Amino acid sequence: MKPKSQERGQALILIVFAAVGFFALVALAIDGSRVFSDRRHAQNAADTAVLAAALAKIRNPSDPIIPVTAATQRAESNGFNNTNSVVEVNTCDVVAALSLTPPCEGLPTGAVLSEYIQVVIRFTTPTTFARIIGRNEVKSVVTAIARVQGSSSTSSSMSDAGIVTTRDTNDDGCFLLTGGGSVYTHNSGVWVNCSGNRALFVSGGGSLQMEATGEVVGCNDHSDPPTLGSVTCGANGGLSQPISSIFASVPTTLPPPACGPAAPLPVNGVYSPGTYDAIIINGGTATMNPGVYCITGPGGFDVSTSLTATGGKVQIVMQDQNISFSGVVNASDLEFYVNNANLTVNGGASVQATRLRYFSTGTGTVKVNGQGELRSSDAYFYLHRGDIILTGDAIVDLHGPPQGDTFGGLLVHKPLENTLGLTFNGGSNINLTGTFMAPGSNVTYNGQTTFTLHSQIIGSTFNVTGGGTLDVWYDPTENYSPPNSPVIQLTK
């Protein structure tokens, strides 16, 4: 046993350890409260900043800088500036494209990323008592996300026209009808945005018939006046906002699903989700189970015989490969996410999908050749830099998504920056319902037979050649309608 004189000082050691624990508790209480208070203040600043950005986007839909400036200024007014914090402002499509952290989490399934704005504030809280345990500061990150739909500006009466040309230059022939062709717009007229004296020009025995008044920003020249309806020159002095802002809020594409591991070989013609070098079906009947299929090799996706995919949603993700159908495809829910790919329905092929989505984020053409068949009662094609070509002998029956869907009423969408032409080759077996939106494309209709569209056709210019008849039946319930009024929603 040690003498008591040798046990002196042990209490001091215990007191030191107790003091450290005491200061740790004090640090947790005082510094923790400060961090919590700073984060709550930062969250409120982020919320108000993202709402300021959303409001600025509604008022200035064509200028991506103004919302960023509005959010930054609002955050600075709440004490967060470049000297003591970092304020980041981006739309969620940019966040996804650049893989920024934190991502835009918690968005609903099918969300249009360009409609969502994210504000991120990064800041540091200095500590007082926590320095004793080695924590001089605490770093924090808060985020806020708002959804923006619509704009505060209104467009012209182009929204009531069956055929719309958007080019806003002082040109003639932006709506050009030649070669004895006939155009008939039911329940609507035409809208021509060019300001030339012959912006709407009909010659060579062409016939323009409208069940409503046609409107031209410039004026028109007919060899013969319209047999039905009339044309108003100098309509509204042009569109009331820039073309880019009118179409800025139109939904575009969805992000592709994530790819899984390498898939097993098909058993008895049954394919399971996963990653494939190629999917080539050239013998017998194959079946695809629901799920995500990623194709990475040069062989692409080729169906020469028969394919069934009726058990649920089949999603196909491809990069730099082509899609070719020469056989029979029967699907209940089919989605393509492609980049730099062509989709071809060859003569004799039959492709039917109850629900069909085609999202092309690169170049590429969708083409239905003569005697090829493509049918869907709920279809949407997005072509970022591609084109769609329907030949005269094709059998095409497509209906746009129902109202209420993210892409409700949109059948084909080529964004404003896609300037490749849109070509319709007339055929009696082509039935299309829904908006063809291609505001940057020159639309050409080569007609020799009757071609009926339950649609609104929107293009940069419109050129009708040949002796056929084009009937455009316009029904707003079957076409895309932008939000009637702007909407801001704080989602996170």
Please state, in angstroms and rounded to a whole number, the distance separating the CA atoms of residues 279 and 270: 12
Residue 471 has a pLDDT of 86
pLDDT at 107 over 60: yes
% pLDDT > 90, the chain:
39
Structure tokens at 373: 């068949």
In the prediction, which pLDDT does 235 show?
Answer: 78
pLDDT at 287 over 80: yes
pLDDT, residue 156, reads 46
Most confidently predicted of 70-74, 207-211, 233-237, 319-323 = 319-323
User: For a pLDDT cut of 70, what percent of the chain falls above it?
Assistant: 84
**Residue 340 confidence (pLDDT) above 90:** yes
Q: To 5 degrees, how large is the angle CA 245–CA 248–CA 254?
A: 180
Q: How confident is the model at residue 62 (pLDDT cuts 50, 70, 90)?
A: low
Residue 174 has pLDDT above 50, yes or no: yes
In this prediction, residue 294 has a pLDDT band, given cuts at 50, 70 and 90, of very high
Whole-number Å distance between alpha carbons of 396 and 394 = 6
Distance between CA atoms of residues 343 and 340, nearest Å: 10
Residue 155's pLDDT is: 46
pLDDT at 376 over 80: yes
Q: pLDDT-based confidence at 74, cuts 50/70/90? A: confident
Mean pLDDT of the 319-326 span = 95
pLDDT given for residue 324 in this prediction: 97
pLDDT above 50 for 357? yes
How confident is the model over 134-150, as pLDDT tens digits? 778 889 999 999 988 76
Across the range 431-453, mean pLDDT stands at: 84
HSE, side-chain direction, 13 A CA sphere, residue 397? 11
- Print burial letters for 49-66: b (CB count within 10 Å at least 16), e (below 16): bbbbbbbbbbebbbbeee
For range 110-116, the mean pLDDT:
81
- Give mean pLDDT, residues 457-469: 85
Q: 138 - beta bridge partners? A: 125
Position 189 pLDDT exceeds 60 = yes
pLDDT at 453: 84
Q: Region 157-168: what's the mean pLDDT?
A: 82
Question: Residue 78 burial by CB count (10 A; 0-12/13-18/19+): exposed, middle or buried?
Answer: middle
Give me the phi and psi of 244, to 5 degrees please: -60, -35
What pLDDT, on a 0 to 100 scale, did the predictor assign at position 130?
65
Burial 141-153 (b: 16+ CB within 10 A, else e): ebbbbbbbbbbeb
Q: Return d(Cα 282, Cα 261) in angstroms, integer.
A: 24
Bigger pLDDT: 287 vs 33 = 287
The predicted-structure confidence for 479-490, as pLDDT tens digits, reads as follows 997 655 566 777
Does 153 score more than 50 pLDDT?
no
